[in-house]
Amino acid sequence: MSVTALPPVPHYNAAPPTKADLDYADLATIDLSKMESAQGRAALASQVRDALLTHGFFYVVNHGDEEKRLYSDIDQEETGWYQAYKLRQYWHIDAGVRDQLEYINIDRDVHKQDHPEALRPFLPEIEEFARFNHANVLFAVLRLIALSLELPEDALVKIHNCNGLGEAFVRFIKYYPRSAEDEEKTNNVWLKGHTDSGSITILWSQPVAALQILGKDGKWRWVKHVENALVVNAGDAMDFLTGGYYKGTIHRVVQPPPDQQQYTRLGVFYFTMTDGDVKLVPLYESPVLKRVGINPRCEDSVAPTMLEWRRGRANGYGRTELRPSKEKGVEEEIINGLVIKHYN
């Protein structure tokens, strides 16, 4: 049997962790090695519930994989996601400054889209990476969330088949340096505070500090790098499905601390949505939601499907005119009749 030789890829040397004294968020760590027993899953479900109610972010360890890759990409938006390449300077950040990042999105079924020639030899490896994230990490997290809501363990897994284009995808991202003038104009903010549009986002932790989350006290805190850990957060879809119980987590990207500013910041993500035809209404059958009270974002009759919400968010981000909010440092846009906030 012949084996296709892969083209050479330069070895990536990760930046050393920052030595800056940063105000880190105290995030819980979910150990997936405890998923084997019902007792272990129940304990983890309780941890996940507390983590989502406290910060909306948590670490996942003992997931069983260490692969990382990055390449770049081509821009299409008809389907409500950036199919492959997003060019730099596509989004407006603030004060006339546009973004300095580029990324490639690759659907978990790599055969659903065209790819740059340089990427094609690596598609089997990328497809396996996506499969691992979906089956080993996403499904484990969804089961724990379902248990935390006192629902059948597979209740959320069933609506995450993700067979439609863009419902689950790998993203490789690269941030380029900005001028001192642009940093000053934007107060060192590279991406404004926002929520993700999907249900669960998985970020493979890397050492260049830049990710911050907004605490309930209104303070931004850094997410600390944990070697070989995954950083997991909830998005808008989870907020819809739980009637506001598990809210989409507000996060942003800022300039790294001084001792890391000479390094390129790379990111490897796995973004997930519910199936596109799922109507984003609360899971009324959850005993937990019945007890705590359900606060839907809109009437069920006008609730968007996942596909409608994804399209609205993707086609509006960084391109629509934002209006000032009554909240300090907050701007707003309207998507599907609902207010979306951006935090600066």
Q: Identify whether 141 is part of a domain.
A: yes
Q: Identify whether 329 is part of a domain.
A: no
State how far the Cα of 288 lies from the Cα of 128, in Å rounded to an integer. Answer: 36
pLDDT band of residue 83 (cuts 50, 70, 90) is low
Total number of domains constituting the chain? 1
Residue range(s) defining the domain that contains residue 126: 29-302
State how far the Cα of 28 lies from the Cα of 58, in Å rounded to an integer. Answer: 5
pLDDT band of residue 302 (cuts 50, 70, 90) is very high
Q: Identify whether 336 is part of a domain.
A: no
If we measure between CA atoms, which residue out of 15, 128, 3 comes closest to residue 67? 128
pLDDT band of residue 97 (cuts 50, 70, 90) is confident
If we measure between CA atoms, which residue out of 332, 199, 27, 336 comes closest to residue 344? 332
Lowest mean pLDDT among 69-78, 110-119, 176-185, 282-291: 69-78
Lowest mean pLDDT among 7-11, 30-34, 36-40, 51-55: 7-11
pLDDT in tens, 159-198: 999 877 778 999 999 988 888 999 999 999 999 999 999 9
Which token pair is 316? Answer: 């509006």
Q: Identify whether 338 is part of a domain.
A: no
Asked whether 57 and 27 are in contact (CB, 8 A), the reply is yes
∠ CA 225-230-231, nearest 5°, is 70
State how far the Cα of 268 lies from the Cα of 256, in Å rounded to an integer. Answer: 17
State how far the Cα of 123 lies from the Cα of 54, in Å rounded to an integer. Answer: 38
* 177: CATH: 2.60.120.330
pLDDT band of residue 203 (cuts 50, 70, 90) is very high
Lowest mean pLDDT among 166-180, 183-197, 272-286, 316-330: 316-330
State how far the Cα of 116 lies from the Cα of 323, in Å rounded to an integer. Answer: 38
286: helix, strand or coil: coil
Asked whether 107 and 113 are in contact (CB, 8 A), the reply is yes
Which token pair is 51? Answer: 């983590």
Q: Identify whether 315 is part of a domain.
A: no
Q: What is the mean pLDDT of residues 33-55?
A: 94
Q: Identify whether 242 is part of a domain.
A: yes
State the pTM of this model. 0.88
pLDDT in tens, 19-37: 999 999 999 999 999 998 9
Kindly state the greatest CA–CA separation across the chain. 66
